[in-house]
Structure 1
Amino acid sequence: MNTMSVTVTPARSATAVADARETARAFLDRFVRPIAAEAADSVILVVSELVTNALRHGGGTCTLNLNTHPDGIEVAVHDRCPQGPRMRTPDLSGGTGGFGWPMVNRLAHATAVTRLPSGGKTVMALIAR
């Protein structure tokens, strides 16, 4: 199993999310058995969404963990906010969002939110290869 962990900070950095996407691309490029292009695109989208939300709502820093499994790629983002993402009606006119968590759930084979005993949470999405 391949694994990679990176701390993404600070929340105000204009390049933090782009850096997280590049980290995910580099991780995917290391595979001996490459994954399908559509699956790789899904991993990048999920990384972007989960890191963006963690930086926006999770206390300013987050940790991105990427792991391979026989049937998929696990994207896990840890932050300091105990409140998990929630489904809500997307805002089509006001720009307040609501699109990300439904998108993550459509792209992922499975998702989970785990509250951490020390505070905060981990949001995990498993993307099929």
Structure 2
Amino acid sequence: MNSTTITITSTPPGPSMVRGDSAAAIRQARQAVRAFTDRLSPAPDPDRADSLVLVVSELVTNALRHGGGQYTLELSGGTGTVTAAVSDSNPAYPRERTPDLNGAGGGFGWHMIRDLTNQLTITPSPGGKTIHAQLPL
């Protein structure tokens, strides 16, 4: 798929949903996270908001690369937390790799995601999986 389909639906403080199927959709997912955190009250600490942007960027990039070429991102807020749920069509769970320190092979993303979240769950579905990453605000 070469097209990008992005849908953002929400009214503060409700959830936001984004769908994407191209590299351009990674930037749009980051923008959706910024817009979502800007609507939260109280506003999260800027470092926490940056952490959420990084986690979402890694999750949607991995969904595009390894999860079937498209993703659905849902953002929701709770008491003192925010959750990013990224779904893709590949049922395989992420695998942890030793980071490539020579810069050619990656392997840093899943480690970062685990370090930045306070709860990380993977839910299988008939059409793939959803990774739920919860961060404190």
TM-score, structure 2 normalization: 0.87
1:28 aligns with 2:37: yes
| Structure 2 residue 48 is the aligned partner of structure 1 residue 49 | no
Q: How many angstroms apart in 2 are the aligned matches of 1:17 and 1:63?
A: 11
Q: Segments of 4+ in structure 1 off by > 4 A?
A: none
Q: Is 1:101 aligned with 2:110?
A: yes
- 1: distance between equivalents of 2:105 and 2:90? 19
What amino acid sits opposite 2:14 in the alignment? N
Unaligned runs of 5+ in 1: none
State the match for 1:122 in structure 2. 130
How many angstroms does 1:94 deviate by?
A: 5.3
The Cα of 1:8 is off from its aligned counterpart by 1.1
CA distance in 2, matches of 1:119, 1:94: 33
Identify the residue that residue 72 of structure 1 maps to in structure 2: 81
Q: Which residue of 1 aligns with 2:122?
A: 113
Unaligned runs of 5+ in 2: 1-12
Question: Matched residues in 2 for 1:123 and 1:99: separation?
Answer: 17
Deviations 1:88-114 (A, max 9, x none): 211112511110001000000010111
Between the two proteins, the alignment pairs up a number of residues equal to 125
| AA partner of residue 35 (structure 1) | P
For 1:37, the equivalent position in structure 2 comes to 46
Aligned to 1:2: 14
Secondary structure, counterpart of 1:87 in structure 2: coil
Q: Whose RCO is larger (CA < 8 A, sep 6+)?
A: 1
Which secondary structure state, in structure 2, belongs to the residue aligned with residue 76 of structure 1? strand
CA distance in 2, matches of 1:123, 1:86: 13
- Counterparts of 2:106 and 2:14, CA distance in 1: 33
In 2, the alpha carbon distance for the partners of 1:101 and 1:2 equals 28
The 2-side partners of 1:32 and 1:45 are apart by 21
Q: Distance in 1 between matches of 2:58 and 2:84?
A: 11
